[in-house]
Amino acid sequence: MTVEDISWEIKTDYTRHLAKKKMREDKRKPFEYRKIELENGYIPNALGSTRVRLGKTEVIAGVSLVMGTPYPDKLNAGTLMTSVELTPIASPMFESGPPRPNAVEYARVVDRGIRESGTLDFEKLCVTEGEEVWMVILDLHVLDYNGNLFDAFALAAISALLNTKMPKYEDGKVIREETKGKLSVQKKPVECTFFKIGDMLMLDPSLGEDKALDARLTVATVGDRICAMQKGGNGSFTMKEIDELVDMSFKKSKELTKLL
Amino acid sequence: MTVEDISWEIKTDYTRHLAKKKMREDKRKPFEYRKIELENGYIPNALGSTRVRLGKTEVIAGVSLVMGTPYPDKLNAGTLMTSVELTPIASPMFESGPPRPNAVEYARVVDRGIRESGTLDFEKLCVTEGEEVWMVILDLHVLDYNGNLFDAFALAAISALLNTKMPKYEDGKVIREETKGKLSVQKKPVECTFFKIGDMLMLDPSLGEDKALDARLTVATVGDRICAMQKGGNGSFTMKEIDELVDMSFKKSKELTKLL
Amino acid sequence: MTVEDISWEIKTDYTRHLAKKKMREDKRKPFEYRKIELENGYIPNALGSTRVRLGKTEVIAGVSLVMGTPYPDKLNAGTLMTSVELTPIASPMFESGPPRPNAVEYARVVDRGIRESGTLDFEKLCVTEGEEVWMVILDLHVLDYNGNLFDAFALAAISALLNTKMPKYEDGKVIREETKGKLSVQKKPVECTFFKIGDMLMLDPSLGEDKALDARLTVATVGDRICAMQKGGNGSFTMKEIDELVDMSFKKSKELTKLL
Amino acid sequence: MGMKSDLKLIKNGKRLDGRKPDELRPITIKAGVLDNANGSAYLEWGGNKVIAGVYGPRECLPRHRSSPYKAYLTYRYNMAPFSVDDRKRPGPDRRSTEISKISAEALERVIEVEKFPNTMINVFVEVLQADAGTRCAALTAAAVAAADAGLPMRDLIVSCAAGKIDDTVVLDLGKKEDNFGQADVPIAILPHSEEIVLLQMDGDLTKEEFKEAIDMSVKAAKQIYELQKKALTERFKKGGGKE
Amino acid sequence: MGMKSDLKLIKNGKRLDGRKPDELRPITIKAGVLDNANGSAYLEWGGNKVIAGVYGPRECLPRHRSSPYKAYLTYRYNMAPFSVDDRKRPGPDRRSTEISKISAEALERVIEVEKFPNTMINVFVEVLQADAGTRCAALTAAAVAAADAGLPMRDLIVSCAAGKIDDTVVLDLGKKEDNFGQADVPIAILPHSEEIVLLQMDGDLTKEEFKEAIDMSVKAAKQIYELQKKALTERFKKGGGKE
Amino acid sequence: MGMKSDLKLIKNGKRLDGRKPDELRPITIKAGVLDNANGSAYLEWGGNKVIAGVYGPRECLPRHRSSPYKAYLTYRYNMAPFSVDDRKRPGPDRRSTEISKISAEALERVIEVEKFPNTMINVFVEVLQADAGTRCAALTAAAVAAADAGLPMRDLIVSCAAGKIDDTVVLDLGKKEDNFGQADVPIAILPHSEEIVLLQMDGDLTKEEFKEAIDMSVKAAKQIYELQKKALTERFKKGGGKE
């Protein structure tokens, strides 16, 4: 046990103690998001990019478009790759090195939300069947980690895709300098992350709540449909709780969609 | 020194003590194999597969056939790759991670036995000279490690090759669903692993004997020819002992060949 | 702190103590190189090779020529790759494993000296524009590390390039056995590594001086031009000191060039 | 989820393999199949073949992972290279890393890790043959292996998936249903308390469809739980040791 | 340095972006921009956007790196995948490894590491957008972040490059000048003592040109130093915490 | 073993390089060639050039490898990238991993590791130029380097190979004989006791041919042993230090 471990133990006890009294350290209501700010085009070099601040959590999404070959089982479709870097600048808990399970989970849950909702028309991303297709690469970078990376990443991702310019492709060459319109984005999925401490259900965990939570549920929705879900944490949900959170996710997703 | 190390020290002393009196813990005679069971086609998804139980050691071999390019120095020949995974489910001694020297040695000794005996007609595996050849991939997986993986792997490998179906290859595509005959297998090499504790020579080391042995000798034979050998362990053999073991390997290999 | 750390601390104190009195352990003058020996063609298998001994430091450079594809932004030019292996045989300080920052720095500084001086005519190394170009691979290997690997590597590198034979290339095949003339080498850059302990400036650090130095400056020159520089170490140089060392580098580089 | 396709997955109320919408594929479970592992289980589920082994509580390595409050629990979901049609490269990929993470979190809910501070418990599941639904098969087997290892547990875990094909909610997707279907919802529950300890979803579902899928899985879980119990009972009758 | 090209980089004494030979691109610096890091700075320099964060002194991990004489100082220069036109693969490459090494050596000259034995101090710089001169921008930001962290320092560090294009020595190369120029000389100095703590050079320079380049950078460093001070002053006025 | 070929490897009882069947290629050995290593040896064998260096006994890292009964012995066989016609990528591959493993086991038989509990002894062999038979050349050099390091040893080790070409058993295969031959049997023996500490074989041999190959190698080993002794004698005459 390091000093830091002990300090987290104390904070966690306090967060749990508050939750028992239906309170949160930052005075938020159970289903209230922290302040959210989006800045599109933050990285002019990138074809698409968005910086998101969710309270003191700060992330950047950048979109690259690269010419590649299709998967053998989908010869007429482009591809999507989502990559998360938990850079150590963002938190004393992050370390340099290859992606850890946390980073993989963030990337896969965001990826699923976009992929399963039909946000991208992969067939439109095919240039020559079986040979040349656009690969959409979505890079998610965190600068300051203060809880709830799922929602921050997902929001940055869809917003960056929505403002992504299509480069020209001529004579086998991608010409980034000349763009022709925007990437075709057909849906606007968003993700809401709920959590449970003791019996209390809440939304948008802060850093302390991320460490203290028993169970976590991320729901990705688009309109009146669910397109992806992920439960995490060592605790559990009852079926009733999950129903309640799914209902709530439709409500809260409207707030998020307005920001796009 | 962990508790486990100490416990192994005691077991090793006992194994060595028995060997001095020409005895084995499981009452076997010096050149007696444990009970061997083969189950071909254990993995219906694989083109060829065999599960082998050698006493309480349990391994599976699976064969894949993939279209690839030939080596620049053998343009008219297919290729063979043998890979061993010592999965941690099989023993408290195995760890997750990249293959360790042990795994590499198992793979290379099994590979040599097959390759050097002329078991596969690599020229027949060539589809278009210099361009397309079949790559035979032999995956060896262990579920329970109780000594003598060399012989268990080698037996699973040759048996799996013998029951491997050739997929169809048409218009640049491998069609796994349709097979046309079997992989051409011309020989049936087997491997016998002997070992020495003190002055005593024995066959088929159990787990305890694997840890207690001074020296180990694996002999791969096919008919009346030797095709591969490998000595291991920190001890040594005299020339006379090696002669004796080579003679014995021709005898015991007949027993194994009968199982194929 | 290990025994070795403490022993180095004592040696370092002594080296620094000597430097204060303008002395060096091996009695050299400040700007005097240790004895340098070059042996070209040391590895007959390699197309070009040189062994360099600089005092008790011993390195080997080997040159390979491989047919490859050009970089997308230089379709009519061959390429150069410089790789350093700090093999653990050469020093108790080196460990097996992937290249560490030290090795990367050596490789990149040597590479820059050659690349920036125009030593290689990369356009001549193009066989078919956009498709086939020669890749020059320079492998630097150390057998005994006793200080100043920068200069030893750089000298071995340029000398090995100067004696590199061009293999024949016919019908899409490299024929190493038949060579046609030599690799075209247009310049002879050399590197001089200076260092500072306290206020004293010196050349060619021994092992002890490499560990005791405050700051290090490598200057690569060719004729009357500077083509690369690299400062290292936790200390600093004044502008006046750097001027003095640049002047000195032109003087000392003549000594080195004579050896080629 | 799936690729677009004209393939009809339901005809006359029956699925491609003849099952009804709420019907499981055949499942067999056997406990105590490995000699080295402290507990183990072999499970066949349709064409899936998985084997689970549990080691521990044992000395925690690396040391800095150990906790004074509970055992360090690891879960490794691993597909054998020959388990799928196109050979899988050995070693963990992103998919198996994610499955391992959420399965460990689910298991930690039932194994009483707080009884074994400063130790580790390692759960390994090998997928020998894959036929859709491997993560559920793996976790269902792992729970039996943990019980076979004699670890104190709050409950078992049963894992099962439901999904949507041809606009119909169905239980336990098969391989083609997985490839060409519209949604998949793997869950894991504790059979007694009906707590949900694992839940994923991908595809396209209305709220009602989602609820229907969960209900279907929860019902099926009871059936699977009976098979788990049976396997453990047979095992305890027979006594220890690999047969 | 650069590729051969017919591109004229200087016309009528002006550079492609209209700058005079000894003119810097616009620079803005802001201190205290991150919540988690003990000190931080955001810096824009032409089209470059970099953010620096400093952690420590804190417990040294791995332990064997700790020294009884000083803090173990690390520096990580990292380019975000989207910072350049052609996506950069995540993780360190040889170029960033070298930059990190020499930047750490430069910083160690000014941070009083000997005051914190047995600890470590970690400096991270993320290049969010790259536009030539990122290593100088990164180190200039890192010095501000270290000061913002309240670390005792002998001086600040200012880093800047000069180079040669069209046979003329110029300050602070832009992207095209970097690609098609003849030489580049990044340096870092301590603004008060004018000690040079980082120096690299590649290209083709006479002794006189080299001296001219250094002089130009040293002069520019004074300007940049004023911006660093301003950023820190504003920060201290406003007080702690991320705004 | 080899590729099929019409190449005749033996004509009129002579091999391609003029050797008789039981004739070694020329061998020269020199001890004490490195300054840093505690013991070292340089060996040329036909076109092979190898250099061996031994460090230790020294502090065992990582610690958990140390044993209270003996020194932890490591052996690293490494081919320099330029040692072969087609450049070898730096770092260990499967072949060198296997060679390192069995060579370490052979060396452990003669170095009295039990005299140095809790330490490690590291043997490094660099193959600078390869010309068939490198594993034998490497181990033969390593034994001399270990003796040069002053390590207590039960005996030296001599390694040598015999094989079959054109249906004839021959000693010490050259490069073409290795590529197009029928069998190769590298062994290592202790010259005094004639114990066999390393033995590999691949190809196609009858029992009689195998015996003939071993006999041939054992005889040759005596010759090589004389060269090892000579190298060490010269070394001890001259005294310590790299010349």
- Give pLDDT, residue F11: 93
Helix (H, G, I), strand (E, B) or coil at C105: helix
Of D105, D190, D194, the CB nearest to A233: D105
- Give pLDDT, residue F238: 80
* Span B217-236, average pLDDT: 97
Task: With an 8 Å CB cutoff and a minimum of 3 pairs, decide whether chains C and E touch.
Answer: yes
Helix (H, G, I), strand (E, B) or coil at A167: strand
Task: With an 8 Å CB cutoff and a minimum of 3 pairs, decide whether chains A and D touch.
Answer: yes
- Give pLDDT, residue A176: 86
Of C91, C98, C137, the CB nearest to F87: C137
Of D52, D78, D82, the CB nearest to B43: D82
Alpha carbon distances (Å) from F125 to C220, D154, E23, F43, F135:
33, 56, 56, 11, 10
Alpha carbon distances (Å) from B173 to B66, B71, B129, B168, B169:
10, 21, 17, 8, 6
> Structure tokens of C178?
């038949």
Structure-model confidence comparison of residues E47 and A179, the more confident one: E47
Best of C236, C239, C251 to substitute, by most chain E Cβ atoms within 10 angstroms, is: C236
- With contact defined as beta carbons under 8 Å apart, do F109 and F197 qualify? yes
Write phi, then psi, for B25 (nearest 5 degrees).
Answer: -55, -40
Check C224 against E201: CB less than 8 A apart: no
- Say which range, C193-197, F58-62, F197-201, has the weakest mean pLDDT: F58-62
| Residue C237 DSSP label | B
Residue D77: name the closest of D65, D92, D67, D87 by CA: D92
* Span B232-236, average pLDDT: 97
* Span F104-133, average pLDDT: 98
Per-residue model confidence as pLDDT tens digits over B158-184? 999 999 999 999 888 888 888 889 999
Residues of C in contact with E210 (CB under 8 A): 226, 246
Residue F99: name the closest of F177, F181, F200 by CA: F200
Domain locations along chain C:
31-259
Residue C228: name the closest of C79, C115, C148, C149 by CA: C115
- With contact defined as beta carbons under 8 Å apart, do B119 and B158 qualify? yes
Q: CA B77 to CA B71: how far, in whole Å?
A: 8
Q: CA B69 to CA B78: how far, in whole Å?
A: 8
* Span D221-225, average pLDDT: 97
F165 strand-pairing partners? F168
Check C43 against F55: CB less than 8 A apart: no
Residue F92: name the closest of F124, F62, F66 by CA: F124
Question: Is residue F136 over pLDDT 70?
Answer: yes
Check E211 against C231: CB less than 8 A apart: no
What is the distance in angstroms between the Cα of B242 and the nearest Cα belonging to chain F?
9
* Span A81-103, average pLDDT: 92
Q: Give strand ranges (E) for chain D.
A: 10-11, 14-15, 27-31, 39-45, 48-59, 72-79, 119-129, 158-165, 168-171, 183-189, 196-205
End-to-end CA distance of chain D: 41
Of A45, A63, A96, the CB nearest to E129: A45
- Report helix angle D134-148 to D94-110, nearest 10: 40
What is the distance in angstroms between the Cα of D111 and the nearest Cα belonging to chain B?
19
Longest pairwise C-alpha distance within chain A: 66
D45 strand-pairing partners? D27, D48
Helix (H, G, I), strand (E, B) or coil at C171: coil
Per-residue model confidence as pLDDT tens digits over E32-60? 999 999 999 999 999 999 999 999 999 99
> Structure tokens of E235?
């920060």
| Residue D4 DSSP label | P
> Given the structure tokens 């009528």, which residue do they identify?
E12
Q: CA A249 to CA A76: how far, in whole Å?
A: 34
Check E196 against C227: CB less than 8 A apart: no
Residues of E in contact with C234 (CB under 8 A): 105, 108-109
Check F129 against C45: CB less than 8 A apart: yes
Residue C65: name the closest of C131, C125, C22, C118 by CA: C125
Question: Is residue A72 over pLDDT 90?
Answer: no
Which positions in chain C have a beta carbon within 8 angstroms of at least one beta carbon in chain F? 2-4, 42-46, 49, 56, 58, 60, 62-64, 66, 83, 85, 87-92, 96, 98, 137, 139, 141, 143-146, 176
Best of C67, C143, C153, C173 to substitute, by most chain F Cβ atoms within 10 angstroms, is: C143
Residues of C in contact with F129 (CB under 8 A): 43-46
Check C238 against E211: CB less than 8 A apart: no
Torsion sign (Cα): B236, B240, B246, B247: negative
Residue F94's pLDDT band (boundaries 50, 70, 90)?
very high
Residues of F in contact with C145 (CB under 8 A): 36
Question: Is residue D193 over pLDDT 70?
Answer: yes
Residues of D in contact with A243 (CB under 8 A): 211
Alpha carbon distances (Å) from C72 to C75, C130, E14:
6, 8, 31
Q: CA F175 to CA D133: how far, in whole Å?
A: 53
> Given the structure tokens 């990122």, which residue do they identify?
E134
Residue E153: name the closest of E187, E123, E126, E118 by CA: E123
Residue B138's pLDDT band (boundaries 50, 70, 90)?
very high
Class for the domain spanning A31-259: alpha beta
Residue F205: name the closest of F183, F178, F173 by CA: F183
Question: Is residue C133 over pLDDT 60?
Answer: yes
Check B234 against F98: CB less than 8 A apart: no
Of B60, B96, B98, the CB nearest to D128: B60
Q: CA D46 to CA D174: how far, in whole Å?
A: 8
Residues of F in contact with B230 (CB under 8 A): 102, 199-201
- Give pLDDT, residue A98: 78
Task: With an 8 Å CB cutoff and a minimum of 3 pairs, decide whether chains C and F touch.
Answer: yes
Check C229 against E199: CB less than 8 A apart: yes
Residues of F in contact with B104 (CB under 8 A): 94, 97-98, 101
Look over chain C and give the mean of its residue pLDDT values, rounded to a whole number. 95
**Percent of chain C clearing pLDDT 90 (strictly above):** 90
Question: Is residue F124 over pLDDT 70?
Answer: yes
- Give pLDDT, residue D2: 63
Of E193, E195, E204, the CB nearest to C116: E204
- Say which range, C182-191, E234-243, F73-82, F86-95, has the weakest mean pLDDT: E234-243
Helix (H, G, I), strand (E, B) or coil at C206: coil
**ipTM summary value:** 0.96
- With contact defined as beta carbons under 8 Å apart, do E141 and E29 qualify? yes
What is the distance in angstroms between the Cα of F220 and the nearest Cα belonging to chain B?
15
- Give pLDDT, residue B73: 86
Look over chain D and give the mean of its residue pLDDT values, rounded to a whole number. 95
Residue A86's pLDDT band (boundaries 50, 70, 90)?
very high
A165 strand-pairing partners? A182
| Closest chain E residue to C75, measured at CA | E3
* Span D204-213, average pLDDT: 98
What is the distance in angstroms between the Cα of C80 and the nearest Cα belonging to chain F?
14
Residues of A in contact with E53 (CB under 8 A): 89-90
| Closest chain D residue to B43, measured at CA | D129
- Say which range, B3-17, D188-202, F31-45, F190-204, has the weakest mean pLDDT: B3-17
> Structure tokens of C75?
């379709």
* Span C163-190, average pLDDT: 92
- Give pLDDT, residue B255: 96
Question: Is residue F2 over pLDDT 80?
Answer: no
- With contact defined as beta carbons under 8 Å apart, do D39 and D145 qualify? yes
Per-residue model confidence as pLDDT tens digits over E137-173? 999 999 999 999 999 999 999 999 999 999 999 999 9
- Say which range, B28-42, B213-227, F57-71, has the weakest mean pLDDT: F57-71
What percent helix, strand, coil does chain C show, rounded to 5? 30, 35, 35
Question: Is residue F239 over pLDDT 90?
Answer: no
Question: Is residue C102 over pLDDT 90?
Answer: yes
D92: left (phi over 0), alpha (psi -120 to 50) or beta: beta
Torsion sign (Cα): B15, B16, B17, B23: positive
Residue D183: name the closest of D148, D159, D207 by CA: D207
Question: Is residue A1 over pLDDT 70?
Answer: no
Residues of C in contact with F130 (CB under 8 A): 45
Of B64, B88, B176, the CB nearest to D82: B64
Q: How many CB pairs under 8 A join C and F?
A: 92
Name residues whose C-beta falls within 8 Å of residue C21's C-beta, 6 or more positions apart in sequence.
none
Torsion sign (Cα): F194, F197, F198, F201: positive
Question: Is residue B227 over pLDDT 60?
Answer: yes
Check F207 against B250: CB less than 8 A apart: yes
- With contact defined as beta carbons under 8 Å apart, do B240 and F199 qualify? no
D126 strand-pairing partners? D51, D78
> In this structure, which CATH number among 3.30.1330.90, 3.40.50.261, 3.30.230.70, 3.40.50.1240 belongs to the domain E21-233?
3.30.230.70
Which positions in chain B have a beta carbon within 8 angstroms of at least one beta carbon in chain D? 2-4, 42-46, 49, 56, 58, 60, 62-64, 66, 83, 85, 87-92, 96, 98, 137, 139, 141, 143-146, 176
Q: CA C180 to CA C170: how far, in whole Å?
A: 12
Per-residue model confidence as pLDDT tens digits over C221-234? 999 999 999 999 99
Of F97, F101, F199, the CB nearest to B229: F199
Question: Is residue B3 over pLDDT 90?
Answer: no
- With contact defined as beta carbons under 8 Å apart, do D120 and D56 qualify? yes
Residues of E in contact with C115 (CB under 8 A): 202
What is the distance in angstroms between the Cα of A171 and the nearest Cα belonging to chain D?
30
Residue B128's pLDDT band (boundaries 50, 70, 90)?
very high
What is the distance in angstroms between the Cα of F34 and the nearest Cα belonging to chain C?
6
Look over chain A and give the mean of its residue pLDDT values, rounded to a whole number. 95
Name residues whose C-beta falls within 8 Å of residue A252's C-beta, 6 or more positions apart in sequence.
A31, A33, A192, A203
| Closest chain C residue to E204, measured at CA | C227
Check E108 against C234: CB less than 8 A apart: yes
